[in-house]
């Protein structure tokens, strides 16, 4: 009988490892397919390569034999630890992230906070000790934090979409390694935490949501207390703790299905709503803008170039475009560097980190390559091609997109307001100055302006910005 039990355990364990590795390998293979190229170039989907290694680590940890379990529990400790973890997660997501805006695309403290969310939920729902037993899984969740990969491998495409996909994959596959009950716990806690995570992001982006978050949290806590899963007041005796634990263990997936379903919905909706605001604008490469302008991307190269401002040399990406100019197609090259693009480039972001706010220009230089000759344009050079200026402006604005309030007017007279909070108010003048400079240049290049008409149905950020220029130009009495 004992041999059968051991054999069965090994088989289950082996099956879970196999599932984990299969999913990881599939995920790795996915990025090599043509269909995923766009995602790969714009995100850190390459980080999925880490998954098999993570799987190995978790498998070894889980395979270290029978785990010791002490039946010492304390609900006060569970609640206090949850509050501390929750506070840390909230701080990382809602407070430190936006405050560290210049480094946020690189640091991605919100992603780093994900294990904290899960740990907090797990600890409050199932206890500190079971949570500690899931540390390997939490560690794998933490392994989706992109910064180490960005720091370690400048040539690896990095970004922001993949950590989310990856964390979901790793959560599920790690859970597959755990025992059935732990799997269910992790799943419930993970989905719940993800919901909380998304709610929090919503609260950050839309202040009206903050009271809603509070109400939801109060309802959840009240429900849990009603069910005696959480009890404040006097600490439980060992007997009480023992009596109440089976109640927690009786949780079945079926009984939790409605909660999981609602949590999953909550988790998904804000994701879509916020994706444009929080991610797309900050990570979309200028290529998108180029396509608006009718440019054709010829290719990209990675170059080392000085970042300026006393910062050491860093990696930049040079994009070559075919652009219509004066009735001919010419080739220009744009060098792009800066924090907003580091996650996209996988370049070494340290200079950007140390440069700090106000010292980093996302686009420092533009290079016009035509027939093998390269001209370097200065920002203050009035002869700078308008396309380059517009593109640079876009790139610059995309870096600062969270901090401006830009009113956009589209050609069919429909007004679209893209409201982007500027809590510091520091960049309004700089933006206005930039607009003035662009308009000054455009006044000397008015013959080219027909190229920048936009379709009103498409209010993408790049197009809208271009439209702003056009509209401003049309209303400019000095043109």
Partner 1 sequence: MSTELSEKDAQQLHESIFGLADANPVLSAQKVLYGNQAVYFAAIGLLNIALLFLYPRYTLIVMITGLLIASMGAVTFRWMLFIAGLREGSTIKVTDEEARAVPDHELPIYTVLLPAFREPDIEHDVLAGVGQLEYPRDKLDIKLLLEANDQETVETALAATELTKLVEVVVVPTAHPQTKPKACNWGLIDARGEFTTIYDAEDVPEPLQLRRAVVAFNRIGPSLSCLQARLTYHNDRQNLLTRLFTIEYDGWFTNLLPGLVALGVPIPLGGTSNHLRTHALREVRGWDPFNVTEDADLGVRLRVLGYDSAVLDSFTLEEANSDAINWVKQRSRWHKGYLQTGLVHIRQPVKFVRQLGWKGALGFMALIPGTPILCALNALSMLTTMIWWLGGPKLLAGLYPGWLLYPSILAAVVGNAATVFAHVVVAARSKRPYLAWTCFLLPMYWLLMTMAAVKAGVQLITNPSYWEKTTHGLHRKTT
Residues that bind partner 1 (CB under 8 A): 68, 70, 72-74, 76-77, 80-81, 84, 87, 91-92, 95-96, 99-100, 109, 128-129, 232-235, 237-238
Q: How far from chain centre, in Å, is Cα 392?
A: 23
Nearer to partner 1, 8 or 76 (CB): 76
Nearer to partner 1, 100 or 434 (CB): 100
Residues 6 or more apart in contact with residue 244 via CB below 8 angstroms:
228, 229, 236
Least distance from partner 1 to the Cβ atom of residue 352, Å = 17
Nearer to partner 1, 23 or 204 (CB): 204
d(CA 191, CA 132): 18
Nearer to partner 1, 237 or 478 (CB): 237
Least distance from partner 1 to the Cβ atom of residue 213, Å = 20
d(CA 456, CA 458): 5
Least distance from partner 1 to the Cβ atom of residue 409, Å = 35
Least distance from partner 1 to the Cβ atom of residue 217, Å = 19
Nearer to partner 1, 91 or 216 (CB): 91
Nearer to partner 1, 324 or 357 (CB): 357
Nearer to partner 1, 129 or 245 (CB): 129
Containing 415, the helix (H) or strand (E) segment is strand 415-419
Least distance from partner 1 to the Cβ atom of residue 128, Å = 6
Q: Reduce the DSSP state of residue 299 to 3 states and report it.
A: strand
Question: Burial of 56 by CB count in 10 Å (0-12 exposed, 13-18 middle, 19+ buried)?
Answer: middle
Least distance from partner 1 to the Cβ atom of residue 238, Å = 7
Complete DSSP assignment for 425-441:
--SHHHHHHHHHHHHHH
Least distance from partner 1 to the Cβ atom of residue 413, Å = 41
Least distance from partner 1 to the Cβ atom of residue 81, Å = 7
Q: Strands 296-308, 311-325: parallel, antiparallel or unpaired by DSSP?
A: antiparallel
d(CA 296, CA 320): 8
Nearer to partner 1, 91 or 430 (CB): 91
Q: What share of the chain is helix, strand, coil (3-state, %, to 5)?
A: 65, 10, 25
Q: Reduce the DSSP state of residue 124 to 3 states and report it.
A: helix
- The residue among 49, 123, 98, 317 whose CA lies nearest residue 200 is 98
Phi, psi dihedrals of residue 300, rounded to the nearest 5°:
-130, 150
């Amino acid at each position: 009988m004992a041999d059968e039990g051991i054999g069965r355990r090994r088989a289950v364990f082996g099956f879970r490892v196999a599932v984990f590795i299969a999913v990881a390998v599939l995920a790795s293979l996915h990025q090599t397919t043509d269909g995923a190229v766009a995602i790969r170039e714009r995100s850190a989907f390459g980080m999925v390569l880490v998954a098999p290694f993570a799987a190995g680590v978790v498998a070894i940890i889980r395979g270290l034999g029978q785990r010791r379990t002490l039946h010492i529990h304390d609900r006060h400790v569970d609640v206090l630890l949850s509050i501390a973890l929750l506070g840390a997660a909230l701080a990382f997501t809602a407070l430190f992230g936006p405050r560290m805006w210049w480094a946020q695309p690189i640091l991605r403290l919100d992603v780093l906070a994900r294990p904290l969310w899960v740990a907090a939920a797990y600890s409050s729902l199932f206890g500190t000790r079971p949570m500690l037993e899931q540390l390997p899984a939490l560690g794998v969740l933490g392994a989706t934090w992109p910064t180490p990969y960005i720091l370690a491998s400048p040539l690896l495409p990095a970004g922001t979409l993949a950590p989310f996909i990856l964390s979901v994959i790793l959560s599920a596959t790690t859970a597959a390694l755990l025992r059935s009950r732990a799997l269910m716990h992790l799943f419930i806690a993970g989905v719940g935490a993800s919901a909380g995570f998304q709610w929090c992001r919503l609260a950050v982006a839309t202040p009206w949501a903050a009271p809603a978050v509070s109400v939801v949290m109060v309802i959840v806590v009240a429900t849990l207390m009603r069910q005696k899963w959480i009890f404040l007041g006097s600490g439980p005796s060992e007997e009480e703790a023992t009596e109440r634990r089976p109640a927690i263990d009786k949780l079945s997936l079926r009984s939790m299905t409605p909660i999981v379903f609602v949590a999953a919905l909550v988790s998904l909706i804000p994701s879509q709503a916020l994706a444009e605001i929080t991610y797309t604008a900050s990570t979309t490469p200028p290529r998108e803008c180029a396509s608006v302008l009718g440019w054709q991307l010829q290719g990209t190269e990675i170059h080392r170039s000085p970042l300026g401002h006393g910062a050491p040399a860093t990696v930049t990406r040079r994009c070559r475009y075919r652009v219509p100019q004066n009735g001919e197609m010419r080739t220009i090259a744009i060098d792009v560097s800066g924090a907003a693009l580091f996650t996209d480039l996988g370049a070494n972001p340290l200079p950007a980190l140390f440069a700090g706010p106000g010292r980093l220009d996302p686009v420092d230089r533009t290079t016009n390559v035509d027939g093998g000759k390269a001209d370097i344009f200065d920002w203050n050079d009035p002869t700078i091609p308008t396309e380059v200026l517009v593109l640079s402006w876009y790139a610059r604005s995309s870096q600062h997109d969270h901090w401006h309030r830009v009113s956009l007017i589209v050609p069919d007279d429909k007004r679209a307001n893209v409201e982007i909070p500027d809590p510091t108010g520091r960049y309004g003048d700089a933006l206005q100055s930039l607009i003035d400079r662009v308009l000054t240049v455009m006044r000397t290049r008015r013959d080219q302006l027909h190229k920048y008409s936009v379709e009103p149905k498409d209010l993408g950020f790049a197009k809208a910005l271009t439209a702003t220029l056009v509209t401003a130009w049309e209303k400019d009495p000095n043109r």
